[in-house]
Amino acid sequence: MALRPDSRREPLVKKKLVKRSATARAAIPRSAPQRPPVIAVAQLRVERDAPILNGIDWTVARGEHWVILGANGSGKTSLLSTLTGYMPPTAGDISVLGETYGRSDWRELRKRIGICSSSIHHMMEGHETALSAVISGRHAMVGMWGEVRDDERRQALRILRQVEAEKIRDRPWRFLSQGERQRVLIGRALMARPELLILDEPCAGLDPVAREHFVQFLERLARSRGAPTLVLVTHHVEEIMPAFSHVLVLKSGSVLASGPKAKILTSGTLSRAFQAPVRLRRQRGRYSLAVTPSLAVVI
């Protein structure tokens, strides 16, 4: 018995439909997995005998460089201490580099964070050379001891070139200028290949010329290939270079303003932050601040 023509064609039709279906599935774009933000803080509160930080909400996305700005006592250093696990929070959520506070080992997380602060500055030994100071950052120790591997030495020399301090590699710490010391400390922080680099008032103690040289160096560092996310803590707008994209302004332990630099840095916001009438000037991507004298203010 002969088969009907429509019965013979049926398997071919099914095959064709299956092929189209596979092609359609392949054409659907697959979204790349999103990387978590560098920093995500929600309703952070820190209390000891009195409130230190209250209701902090702050997110740092990848590709952004931030400045934390505020008067003395506004909570800048306390916020950094909480982010790095040295000051436990009273309440709120903290996530740094995808790790959540309370669920991750913050001691391991610190190895992915570079910190340049005055506390490390005062711990350095006077006889330690710039090169050994940088190498010591690989192991998160102060004072290099033990055998140095060849690959560690090569990496430290590359970093000294990166921070523009290769010429002082054999100079002892006691003979380095303040600006040179800050560059070496940044090199030390970079030795561990951090994803986040925190700079806590790195220009403190620098004269105007040394400060300008240093912030120009920060600008080049921020724009270099593969640079970590930078967070600069300061109360001087003159240190805010064009590479910094966002600003967090703190006042009395709370967020006064947060967002893109062009939107946040205004005379009105800074007048409230410093509790004095100030006028902000911007020229060629740099900032300066003029304070209106007041006879009512006694220092």
Q: What is the pLDDT of residues 143-171, one digit of tens each?
A: 655 677 889 899 999 999 988 899 999 99
* pLDDT for residue 144: 59
Q: Which amino acid is at 16?
A: K
Beta bridge partners of 66: 231, 246
Whole-model pTM?
0.81
Query: Which residue in 71, 77, 74 sits closest to 271, CA to CA?
Result: 71
- Percentages of the chain per state (helix, strand, coil), in multiples of 5: 40, 25, 35
Strand pairing category for 286-291 and 278-283: antiparallel
* pLDDT for residue 106: 82
* pLDDT for residue 145: 59
* pLDDT for residue 123: 78
Residues 56-67 as b or e (16 or more Cβ within 10 Å = b): bebebeeebbbb
Residues of the chain with pLDDT under 70: 1-33, 119, 139-146, 294-299
- Pull the structure tokens for residue 167: 């010429």
Query: Which residue in 227, 228, 229, 269 sits closest to 248, CA to CA?
Result: 269
Q: What is the DSSP letter of 266?
A: -
- Yes or no: say if 148 and 135 are a contact pair by the CB < 8 Å rule: yes
